[in-house]
Amino acid sequence: MKEVLQTLKPYDTGKLRDNLRKELEVESIIALNSNENQYGCSPKVTEALSSFQNINIYSDGGDKKIVKKIAEHVNVHPNNVLIGAGLDEMIQIVSRTFLASEDNIVQADLTFGEYAYQAKIEGAEVKKVPLQQGDHDLNGMLAAVDERTKIIWVCNPNNPTGTYIPEDDSLSFLEKVPEEVMVVVDEAYFEYVTATNYPNTVPLIEKYPNLIVLRTFSKAYGLAGLRVGYALANAAVVNQLMKIKLPYNASSLSHVAAIAALDDQRFIEKCKEKNRKGLAQYFSFCEEFALSYYPSQGNFILIEMPQRVEEVCQFLLKKGILVRSGVDLGVPSAIRVTVGTSEQNEKCIGYLREMLQ
C-alpha cells in the first residue's frame, strides 16, 4: 500500500443511528452532528423518485440532463459544469487532477478535513494557515503560496466555524493569487447564506480560469444520502477534471432527484428562513450564557464549552441528541451543532441549559 496510508484513518461515520437508539433506550435519535437538512427534501424529489423505473440502466454517463439543468440554474454554459458523487468525491477528483508528490496545498486551519486528507493521499504537503477570529486569513494564505503550491482551498462559509468571506475580500484575493495556482471555493452551505455581501463567485469562472466553485445537493436540498454535487469552472478546467471523474459516478437516481430539487426553490427559501430563525435561537442561548460562538452562515454553529467537550457530548447523547465533538474537528474546546427544526433546537438548547446550570 501507499506509505502515507499508515498515517491516515478511515472516516468514522459513527454508529448506526437505529442501533444507537436501541442501545440508549431512547425513543428517537436527533442527529445534529452531520449538518444534514432536518426538514428532509422537497416533495417534488420524492415524487420524481417514486416514479423512476430504469435502475437496470447506467446513468446518463455524460450527465447531459443534470448538467443542462444546473447550467440553467446558475446561468453558465454546460461546458462549465462537472457532476460529482457529492463534494467529497469532487474534492478527490480535484486533488487527483492537480496534485503530485512534489506539490502542496494551502488551506485554513480549521476547515473541512477532506482537503488535507485527499492531498495527503496524493503525496502532497498540506500548508495550514490559522484562522483569524474564525475567518480565513487570506493574506496569510497568499504568503504561504510558493512555487510548489497547486491549490488554495477556501471554504465559504467555513465548516466548522460557519464564518464567511465577504465579496470585497474574495475579489481582491482572487486578483492576487498567481494564475497558475487553482483556487477552489467550497460553497457547500451556499443556499443557507443570508449575508448580503457574500460573493457571487459563479460569474468569475470566466475571468479567472484558475477558479473552481463547488456546490452540493447534500445540505439545503436535503439529498445527502443520494450523493450528488457539482463543480463550476472554466471549460478548459472541466475538461481536465472530466478525465479523472468516473463515468457513472453520481447514480441515475441522484440525477433525477437533483433535477426535481432544483425545480423547488420555494423549499430552499423556506429551509433558509427556518435555518435563520434556528440560528437565532442558538445565538441568544449563547449570549445568555456568555458562551463564545461564531455567527454562522451555515446550518450549524460552533460553540465554545466551559465543560469538557466529551462530557457535553455524552450528556446530550444520553438524551438521544448527537452533536459533533470539536475534538474530532481540531477545536477541542467546542461542539458543532447542526441547526434543526425549532423543536429540535429547543430540545438541544434545553439540555445544554440544564447542564450549564
Ligand X SMILES: Cc1ncc(COP(=O)(O)O)c(C=O)c1O
Judged by CB under 6 A, the chain residues 151 through 180 that form the site for ligand X are 155, 159
Q: Where are the alpha helices (DSSP H) in the chain?
A: 17-24, 43-50, 64-74, 86-98, 114-121, 138-144, 167-176, 204-207, 235-244, 252-262, 265-288, 309-318, 326-329, 342-356
Range in contact with ligand X (rule: CB under 6 A) among 85-93, 98-106, 145-153, 313-321: 85-93
Q: Does 222 bind ligand X (CB under 6 A)?
A: no
Q: Does 87 bind ligand X (CB under 6 A)?
A: yes
Helix axes 342-356, 309-318, angle to 10 degrees: 120
Nearer to ligand X, 29 or 154 (CB): 154
Judged by CB under 6 A, the chain residues 188 through 207 that form the site for ligand X are 188
Nearer to ligand X, 134 or 229 (CB): 229
Q: Does 224 bind ligand X (CB under 6 A)?
A: yes
Range in contact with ligand X (rule: CB under 6 A) among 39-47, 83-91, 193-201, 249-257: 83-91
Contacts of 309 (CB under 8 A, 6+ apart): 325, 326, 327, 332, 333, 334, 335
* Burial status of residue 187 (CB atoms within 10 A of its CB: 0-12, 13-18, 19 or more): buried
Q: Which of 95, 107, 218, 249 binds ligand X (CB under 6 A)?
A: 218
Range in contact with ligand X (rule: CB under 6 A) among 45-53, 55-63, 81-89, 250-258: 81-89
Please report how close the Cβ of residue 226 comes to ligand X at its closest, in angstroms: 9
Contacts of 3 (CB under 8 A, 6+ apart): none
User: 109: closest CA among 144, 63, 64?
Assistant: 144
Contact 86, 230 (CB under 8 A): no
Nearer to ligand X, 103 or 186 (CB): 186
Which residues sit opposite 105 in a β-bridge?
126, 151
Largest Cα separation within the chain, whole Å, is 58
Q: Does 210 bind ligand X (CB under 6 A)?
A: no
Whole-angstrom CA distances from 298 to 268, 295, 345 are 13, 9, 15
Contact 178, 152 (CB under 8 A): no
Nearer to ligand X, 149 or 158 (CB): 158
Judged by CB under 6 A, the chain residues 17 through 56 that form the site for ligand X are 35
φ and ψ of 194, to 5 deg: -115, -10
Nearer to ligand X, 91 or 316 (CB): 91
Range in contact with ligand X (rule: CB under 6 A) among 80-88, 117-125, 243-251, 258-266: 80-88
Count of chain residues binding ligand X (CB under 6 A): 13
Please report how close the Cβ of residue 222 comes to ligand X at its closest, in angstroms: 11
Please report how close the Cβ of residue 155 comes to ligand X at its closest, in angstroms: 5
Q: Does 229 bind ligand X (CB under 6 A)?
A: yes
Q: Nine-digit cell at 64?
A: 447531459
Q: Does 149 bind ligand X (CB under 6 A)?
A: no
Name the residue whose CB lies closest to ligand X. Answer: 86
CA 320 – CA 322 distance, rounded (Å): 7
- Three-state SS at 294: coil
Please report how close the Cβ of residue 152 comes to ligand X at its closest, in angstroms: 15
Judged by CB under 6 A, the chain residues 309 through 348 that form the site for ligand X are none
Nearer to ligand X, 73 or 319 (CB): 73
Q: Does 186 bind ligand X (CB under 6 A)?
A: yes
Q: Nine-digit cell at 305?
A: 464549552
Query: Which residues of the chain form contacts with ligand X (CB under 6 A)?
Result: 35, 86-88, 112, 155, 159, 186, 188, 216, 218, 224, 229
